[in-house]
Structure formats: structure tokens, C-alpha cells
Amino acid sequence: MTTLATTMTHALKKQAIEHLKTTLNIAIKNAQPKQVLAQYLPAPTQGKTWVIGAGKASALMAQTLESLWQGPLEGVVVTPYGYHAPCKQIKVLEAAHPVPDNASLNAAKAIMKIAQQAQAGDQILTLLSGGGSSLLCAPADGLEFSEKQRIHQHLLHSGANIREINCVRRHLSRIKGGHLAQQSAPAQIHNLIISDVPGDNLVDIASGPTVADRSTCAHALAILKRYKIPITHTTEQALKSNIFETPKPKGGQFSHVQSHLIATAQKSLNAAATWAQSMGYKTLILGDAIEGEASEVAKVLAGIAKSIRQYQQPIAPPCIVLSGGETTVTVKGSGIGGPNVEFLLSLLIALDGLPGVYALAADTDGVDGACATAGAWIDSRTLKKAWKKNLVAQDFLDQNNAHHFFSLLKQQIKTGPTHTNVNDFRALLII
């Protein structure tokens, strides 16, 4: 006999993946500049209003700013290739991500030039979002560009977290870690920031070009040694002697800077949860700052999913469990990594076909690691589907080749450039 509960369960199963995709779309929409920028704009000033910026959202932020601002604007922002948004007053440049190229050098020079032009009575609107670290590349004096590129590439595959990576980036730069704020004084700086880092620490977003840095050269050198990143003798000595030190928050030298977080992972998770609740799901947000190796984080979430299915703890189904943050992948195999797909593949193996569990993991910028694919999705049939195609999930995980695994199964999520970035988005739907 078919009960109402059985009918509801069948309906939820049919819609589960679409509902998960909707939560992702809502999370991305909630972090769009057009949705959030207006309420944080400062009043016009008697002087000139300059605009500088860097990141995956910077071009769309600039375009949105032009549509809202009453009066003239002048400036430059840089965004990754393919993220261009046409502007009338603000020049939009494109450069490489995640490893800087010559265009990144030119963008940094253009933005530093504007910062140095600003006068007392002027204001600078700084549009920052994730991705800005590679887009603004101005190697510290005495550091070869090729050396910085090589260090950057090694760090990305080392398993270091974003705070560690950006600490090194700041200390190998003459634009990051507050250097740009120094160059902009005494003009007032208004940082308008879309955060892509766990904890929303301002100095880690685009490596903090306009905020004070409390970390030191010694911290950067310790990170390089911890992850066995090769550096030249010249670079090592510059760090040891503090030649590459960043400006510190003392003497009021950052008193001309104000910062506003206009979009964050937590805000996007809250928006996704509100929608899920409106659809009748119980919701649980595990946090916006989950970090660690993607494959290990997956095992923890698999345990939570099993507990929900078996014991209705810590929440009873039907429910959606959400989390954000930034996991990492230590690439040791032949694949290209990708924290969201690596998480999902490890989760698939840990769940071992557990019925009633559906999951999605994607980066809100539309790019997971070095692949122009946001992420992927799974359900209880995915493992069996892989077996039928003679795909051994553990082999793909061992090779850090999850992108190829989900491509073969046609279970990838492709959003294209989203023009924003509040980092990883993970959702488990449990019936």
C-alpha cells in the first residue's frame, strides 16, 4: 500500500539533484555584486574618486559600480581571462589565474600608478575578490618573476592552506600585504570585498594589498620549509634578513583605510538554507570555514550522513547539510587535483552506495582547482554506474584524477565564469 510518506520520498528522490543544484545557484546569486554592492558604497567626496581592483568578481563589481555611482570615476581593475565585463569609465584588464603571467605584472603596475596618483581629499574604491593574488603580481625588489611563478606553482600543489599560501605571496611582493595602501596614502581607501577565504580574514583575500599584515618574513620562510618548496639562496637570505617584510599596523599608517565585507560564504550558506527550509527540508550548516585535505574532510561528512540515516542525529531526514570553506589537495598522482571533486570522490567511496544520500560539491567561482569545471554531484547509484563502466573510484582518487572520473560519468557541474567567489560549497541531501 502506497503511503503519503512513500509518495513524498519518491518525489524527493526524483528532485534531489535539482534541489542541490538550486542551493548552489542561490549561494552564487547571493554573492553577486549586483545583489550586494549598493548598500556599501561611500558618499561622494570633494576630491576625485578612483577605482582599483582585482579578482574574479572585480570586472562585474566595476560594471555594477558604474551603474550606481553618481559622478565621474577613473581607474583600473584586473580579472581572469574570460571574466571581462564591459565598463565605460573603468579600464578592465585580464590576466592569468592561478599562476601569474606577464599581464599580471602589467596590471599591478597600472594599479600602483593610480594609487600613487591619488591625492589628499581623493578617495579610492578598492574592489577585491578571490583570485586577486595571481592577478596582481609585483615581485619584491630583487626577486625574479620566474622564481615567484615557480614558488607559486609548487605551493598550489603542496597541500598548504590558503592562509599559508598567501603569507608567502605577501612576503614576495611589493603590492600585497598592505604595500598598495602605503602607496595610496593619504587618499581615503574604501575596500569593498567579496571574501573567498575561511574566516574572512582581510589580509588573506587577494593577499591583502590594502590592509595591514601581522605575519612576518620568518612565518613565510617557515611555510616554505614545511612544504619543502625550493627557493634560491637570494630569496632565502632576503626573507631571513627581513628585506621582504610587509607594512605593519602601527603608527596609524592604515588609518586611511576602511573595509567592508559585502559577500561571504556564511551569507551564501544562510541564503541556501533559507530556500531549503522553504521547500520543507530541515537544514544544518556545519560552518563556512572547513579546511583540511579534501579526501579526509569527505570521510567526516560521510560519517555525519550515515548517522543521520541510521540514528536521525544530529538532524532527522529529509534534510540538507551545508558547508563552506576551502579544502586542499596534495597532488601526488597524474591528475590535476580539484578540491571539490576530490572531496566528492572520497565521499562516494566512504558512503559505499548508501541509499538516500545525494551530494554536490562545487567552487562558487566556477573553477575547481585548475579545471574550468565548478564541481560534480553524486547519488546512491553513482558507484554502481562507475562499476558498469569499469571505473575503479579508488584508482582515480589515488591519482588525484577526480575531474576525469566525473567527466566520464557525465556528472560534472559547469557554471562558466560566475563573476564572484565565496569559495567551496558543499551540500548533502539525505532522505
**224 plus 303 within the same structural domain:** no
Q: Domain holding 303: CATH number?
A: 3.40.1480.10
Quote the pLDDT of residue 9: 66
**311 plus 275 within the same structural domain:** yes
User: What's the chain's length in residues?
Assistant: 431
Quote the pLDDT of residue 7: 53
Q: Domain holding 173: CATH number?
A: 3.40.50.10180
**215 plus 342 within the same structural domain:** no
**319 plus 256 within the same structural domain:** no
Of 263, 294, 325, at which residue does a domain stop? Answer: 263
**18 plus 100 within the same structural domain:** no
- Residue 411 to residue 406: CA distance in whole angstroms: 5
**126 plus 52 within the same structural domain:** yes
**326 plus 404 within the same structural domain:** yes
Of 263, 298, 329, at which residue does a domain stop? Answer: 263
Q: Which of 122, 206, 207, 138 is nearest to 168 (CA)?
A: 207
**186 near 256, Cβ under 8 Å?**
yes
Per the structure, how many domains does the chain have? 2
Quote the pLDDT of residue 10: 66
**258 plus 348 within the same structural domain:** no
Instruction: Quote the DSSP letter at residue 368.
Output: B
Of 236, 263, 290, at which residue does a domain stop? Answer: 263
**292 plus 351 within the same structural domain:** yes
**251 plus 316 within the same structural domain:** no
Domain of 293 in residue numbering reads as 4-31+266-430
**333 plus 371 within the same structural domain:** yes
**19 plus 151 within the same structural domain:** no
Rounded mean pLDDT for each run of 10 residues along the chain, 431 residues in total: 51 88 98 96 95 97 97 96 95 95 98 96 96 95 96 91 95 97 96 95 96 97 97 97 94 93 97 98 96 97 98 97 95 94 98 97 93 95 97 98 98 95 96 95
What predicted TM-score, i.e. pTM, was given to this entire model? Answer: 0.90
Alpha-helical segments (H) within 118-178: 132-135, 145-156, 162-171
- Residue 130 to residue 207: CA distance in whole angstroms: 9
